[in-house]
Amino acid sequence: MTTIESILDRLTQAVSGTDKELFTKEEREKFAMFYCDKWDENTSDDVIAESFVDYWWDTERTCRRCSECGKLMRAGYCADMGVAYYCSEDCLHTDFTDEEWAAECENNDQSYYTEW
Domain extent at residue 30: 4-62
The answer as to whether 79 is a domain residue is yes
Measure the CA–CA gap between 44 and 79, rounded to whole angstroms. Answer: 26
Distance of CA 13 to the CA centre of its chain: 13
57/79 same-domain check: no
Taking residue 59's Cβ as centre, other Cβ atoms within 10 Å add up to 9
Going residue by residue through the chain, which has 116 residues, state the pLDDT in tens, using 9 for 90 and above: 689 999 999 999 999 999 999 999 999 999 999 999 999 999 999 999 999 999 999 999 999 999 999 999 999 999 999 999 999 999 999 999 999 999 999 999 999 999 99
84/53 same-domain check: no
Question: pTM (2 decimals)?
Answer: 0.93
Are 59 and 27 within 8 A, CB to CB?
no
